Chain A
Amino acid sequence: MPKFEELSVGQQVAQADYKFTRDSLVRYAGASGDFNTIHYRDDIAQAVGLPGVLAHGMLTMGVSVQPVVTWLGDAGKVLDYQVRFTKPVVVPPKGSAKVSVTATIAALDQESRRARVDLTTSFEENNVLGKAQVWVQL
């Protein structure tokens, strides 16, 4: 567990890169129960005017918090987690889409020993999540 006293606002606490493949999307569909076809069928994604098959927003949200969980060493210390979905992650049929996550301390509450960690999740130079904030207990 990181020590609350050693943290400062603006400090980067975690960074990680992830590769989303079509396998990742099929696996997430099964695990979550979200079988919307735009997440695995190219023909349907095209027919509804999308740039391609998209990752589930909830997959991006779920993966983006993992660097923070690894840093904490305990998934149970996440108290509050929110994101806004701003841009899609397009996953090609072959190869992968690289998603990069950076986690930075945005606020510290001395009394409750809680920290707000803000996430930046990018794909092809664009931020795909907005207002991505995690409150953690230290």
Chain B
Amino acid sequence: MVNPEIQGKRYPRTPGYLVGREKVREFAKAVMAGPESLDLDYAKAHGYQDLVVPPTFPVVIQEQSLQVVLADPEARIDFSRVVHGDQRFVYERPIVAGDELTSELEVASVKSLGGNHMVTFETKIFDATNQLICTAISTLVVRGD
């Protein structure tokens, strides 16, 4: 059972993640993206310094933060019972290759619903100058016994 007392808990800032151009291409191909995230000339013609990531790319950063929570014995989240409920990305500015990102995760809420737990995580993603550039919000449904 998920520990309801983790509501409001903040986890330490993750180490820097450098967004690599080839990683952007690899992710873009995996989500069947077009030249917007694959072609450097195209990106530059649209005023960007480098490739712009596909909209769901910050999941890679969120995944790192979530691993910390799942490994936290206080949280008591059994990963084998977890289903992804919903997901949202709110951008302050586009993420481009070359950005060095860090993130901070907070457990926004823990709710019980019909024997299941719904845990909502908010991961704030910052650039190298410590400006917030994206917030990733994810709800996991943890099935009860």
User: Contact between B36 and A74 (Cβ–Cβ < 8 Å)?
Assistant: yes
Residue B26 lies at the interface, judged by CB distance under 8 Å to chain A: yes
Instruction: With CB as the reference atom, state the residue of chain B lying closest to A48.
Output: B80
Could you tell me the distance between the alpha carbons of A58 and B63 in the complex, rounded to whole angstroms?
Answer: 11
Q: In the complex, how many angstroms separate the beta carbon of A97 from the nearest chain B beta carbon?
A: 13
- Is the interface on chain B under 10, 10 to 19, 20 to 34, or 35 or more residues? 20 to 34
Which residue in B30, B55, B83 is a CB contact (below 8 Å) of A75? Answer: B55
Residue A138 lies at the interface, judged by CB distance under 8 Å to chain B: no
Contact mask for chain A residues 126-138; partner B; CB cutoff 8 A; 1 contact, 0 none: 0000010010000
Contact mask for chain B residues 75-86; partner A; CB cutoff 8 A; 1 contact, 0 none: 000001001111
Residue A59 lies at the interface, judged by CB distance under 8 Å to chain B: yes
Could you tell me the distance between the alpha carbons of A10 and B112 in the complex, rounded to whole angstroms?
Answer: 37
User: Contact between A76 and B56 (Cβ–Cβ < 8 Å)?
Assistant: no
User: Contact between A75 and B33 (Cβ–Cβ < 8 Å)?
Assistant: yes
A-chain residues with CB within 8 Å of residue B80 when the two chains form the complex: 48
User: Contact between B29 and A32 (Cβ–Cβ < 8 Å)?
Assistant: no
B-chain residues with CB within 8 Å of residue A82 when the two chains form the complex: 86-89, 137
Q: How many A-B residue pairs have CB under 8 A?
A: 103
User: Contact between B94 and A28 (Cβ–Cβ < 8 Å)?
Assistant: no
Residue A92 lies at the interface, judged by CB distance under 8 Å to chain B: no
User: Contact between B86 and A31 (Cβ–Cβ < 8 Å)?
Assistant: no
Do A80 and B89 form a contact, CB below 8 Å, given A27-B30, A31-B27? yes
Do A57 and B37 form a contact, CB below 8 Å, given A31-B26, A32-B63, A75-B52? no
Residue A13 lies at the interface, judged by CB distance under 8 Å to chain B: no
Residue B46 lies at the interface, judged by CB distance under 8 Å to chain A: yes
Residue B1 lies at the interface, judged by CB distance under 8 Å to chain A: no
Residue B132 lies at the interface, judged by CB distance under 8 Å to chain A: no
Residue B32 lies at the interface, judged by CB distance under 8 Å to chain A: yes
Which residue in B36, B55, B56, B89 is a CB contact (below 8 Å) of A73? Answer: B36
Could you tell me the distance between the alpha carbons of A28 and B29 in the complex, rounded to whole angstroms?
Answer: 9
Interface residues of B in 20-60 (CB under 8 A from A): 23, 26-27, 29-34, 36-37, 46, 48, 52-56, 59-60
Interface residues of A in 82-131 (CB under 8 A from B): 82-85, 131
Which residue in A76, A80, A85 is a CB contact (below 8 Å) of B94? Answer: A76
B-chain residues with CB within 8 Å of residue A81 when the two chains form the complex: 55-56, 88-89
User: Contact between A61 and B91 (Cβ–Cβ < 8 Å)?
Assistant: no
Please name 13 further chain A to chain B contacts, defined as beta carbons within 8 Å, in addition to the given A69-B34, A70-B36, A83-B87, sorted by A numbering. Answer: A31-B26, A31-B29, A32-B60, A62-B55, A66-B31, A66-B34, A76-B46, A78-B55, A78-B91, A79-B90, A80-B89, A80-B90, A85-B86
